[in-house]
A and B are shown apart, each in its own frame.
Chain A
């Protein structure tokens, strides 16, 4: 049997798995593709869940990567409401939660991540929610509205996006952050201060350095959050936004190497030549930074879907992409290119007071990463500078009267 007739089983029907299935068909794979998903709906975009979806500006159809009929029309056997439970690599089978066993020629694991639930008192109360799926977003939407009080545990991007959406819906939003500043793990100090102030000006409250000791409730539903110092913050609903953990157990149990996620190469292939892994569940090479990492982003998932589909169909490997991501809050568009690995200084271009500025992370005179607020030129040119590792003049980079094209010239 030639590779193009291979039966490809994709575990996980998220952004990564759905894109891999579609690209395999675009790239000419003719064999059966089985797409196994835990959710009731075909693959959809998750990023809008905390933004447009929550505010009622997007619906299920608009979020769907492809219409449902696409899968049957393209000989993609989409299996909703089922999850893979066991991988037996020696006989190339996967056992599903409905008891069925699937044989594969090639396997793509795209099982993503799940939100971390704090192991503290009351975490199982009704109204203590997380956000990963459309069903999660639906539950949050149903709980929000004018006068409702939402407590967000964790000042990360998901929490901040939901805070902005909650304000748009007329709800109160209180963000509790364990660290001394929000976005402590993902953004530099000038940026986290900027976001804090911007949210405060739109009515969001912050409690920083706040340890959460438990949730209190009545009749099985949350009514408040208890802090480590004994304070209780009353609320109608809680969103836990304290990070996510890769759903890599199926690979671990099958003896595949895992770090924080399944270890893959630039073909998105594991050490088992028949098993690929893509998306948030992976620990992947970052060629621009000579290390392994899990970027937890849609662009990375799409790049890996391309890598796997190219390797499987014999296409040339796609050129490595500079990692990037974005966040929309109120009228702010944050675009991030690169990762601040090995950076030895931070350079501010523009004035945060104008809500239009960029923070460059530099290693010597090379750009490692840029966080750009309402500043597409800094993002786009920063991305190119990261890709070509061209040294920049730091004085000119800090001077907004010198255009980004001139800086990079």
Chain B
């Protein structure tokens, strides 16, 4: 279990307990947190679950696959700490994770 803070673009915070094994995307979507669309449901096919990972957590969220890199490369408003949240698996090590949402996923 990890406590994850999702921060909408307008600053609204949602603190959610997310079960291990789910993805950071699923933690948001299943709790109806706005700002993460995840149109493809986690297939790494759409880049609509884009988040910014707080600097302190970048190492712990792991590295990106070639597919994720490639999708992110063409998404809107990408920063060096951009990730697709469907590709980050939740574990105890992510307890306290903070992610911020871009203005739009489309």
Binding site for B on A (CB under 8 A): 22, 25-26, 45, 47-48, 62, 64-67, 70, 74, 298-299, 302, 318-319, 321, 324, 326, 328, 333, 335, 376-377, 380-381, 384, 404
Contact = CB atoms under 8 A, between A and B. Distances in A.
A136 to B, nearest CB: 18
Interface string B43-81: 111110000000000000000000100110111000000
Given A26-B32, A299-B39, A328-B43, A377 B70 contact: yes
Contacts of A65: 29-30
Contact of A377 (B22, B32, B46, B73): B73
Give 3 nearest A-B pairs by CB, closest first.
Answer: A380-B74, A376-B70, A326-B45
Interface of B: 22, 26, 29-32, 34, 37, 39-41, 43-47, 67, 70-71, 73-75, 106
B55 to A, nearest CB: 26
A61 B31 CA distance: 13
A299 B32 contact: no
B43 A326 contact: yes
Contacts of A62: 22, 26
30 contacts: A26-B34, A45-B41, A47-B40, A47-B41, A48-B41, A62-B22, A64-B30, A65-B30, A66-B29, A66-B32, A70-B31, A299-B46, A302-B37, A302-B39, A318-B106, A324-B46, A326-B40, A326-B45, A326-B46, A333-B45, A333-B67, A335-B45, A376-B67, A376-B70, A376-B73, A380-B71, A380-B74, A381-B74, A384-B74, A404-B74
A47 B37 CA distance: 16
A26 B35 CA distance: 10
Grouping DSSP codes into helix (H, G, I), strand (E, B) and loop, the B interface class, with mixed when no group exceeds half, is loop
A229 B37 CA distance: 49
Given A66-B29, A333-B43, A376-B73, 17 more contacts: A22-B32, A47-B40, A47-B43, A62-B22, A65-B29, A66-B30, A66-B32, A298-B39, A299-B39, A299-B46, A302-B37, A318-B106, A321-B106, A335-B45, A376-B70, A376-B74, A377-B73
Contacts of A45: 41
Nearest to A25: B32
Contacts of A299: 39-40, 46
A70 B71 contact: no
Contact of B106 (A319, A326, A333, A335): A319
Nearest to B26: A62
A229 B50 CA distance: 53
A385 to B, nearest CB: 11
Contacts of A25: 32
B71 A298 contact: no
Nearest to A47: B41
A324 to B, nearest CB: 7
B43 A70 contact: no
B31 to A, nearest CB: 8
B40 A298 contact: yes
A382 to B, nearest CB: 10
A335 B106 CA distance: 16
A25 B34 CA distance: 10
Nearest to A73: B32
A298 B38 CA distance: 11
Contact of B75 (A328, A380, A404): A380
